[in-house]
Amino acid sequence: MNLMANVLMLIGGLVALLAGIGLLRLNTPYARFHAAGKASPIAFLVAAVGAGIALGPTGAGLVLVAAAAMTLTLPVGVHLLFRATYRAGENDHLITDDLAAPTAQGQST
């Protein structure tokens, strides 16, 4: 294998490890989703580039398809998880809740 491919796959694995540690260490569900939603695709893309280099043109095409699918679908999935968590009512840790219904104090008739 190519040294550059090995280095990229190792870096991708380390970023994925950091994402996993973030999932375990962060306190709020929103912070956990952020760790999973940001670091995991970056780790996958870096490792996919390394795998594409190692596999050659045919394998790189398949890895490119997988990377495109993950890049297109992951933000939607994380957004839906955020929304479900918000609607579940566990929002005591939020300092500012921009999605809350307006209060009667701020409205004028």
> How high is the mean pLDDT of the chain?
83
Using pLDDT thresholds of 50, 70 and 90, give the confidence band for residue 56: confident
The 10s digit of each residue's pLDDT in 32-53 is 888 888 888 889 899 999 999 9
108 pLDDT exceeds 70?
no
Q: What is the pTM of this model?
A: 0.73
The whole-number average pLDDT for the span 53-69 is 88
Among all chains, which residue has been given the structure tokens 């490890």? 17
Using pLDDT thresholds of 50, 70 and 90, give the confidence band for residue 59: confident
**Encoded tokens for 28:** 């709020």
Give the Cα separation of 36 and 25 in Å (integer). 12
Q: Which ranges in 1-109 belong to alpha helices (H)? A: 3-25, 29-87
Q: Are 43 and 19 in contact (CB under 8 A)?
A: yes
Q: Which letter does DSSP use for residue 95 in this model?
A: S
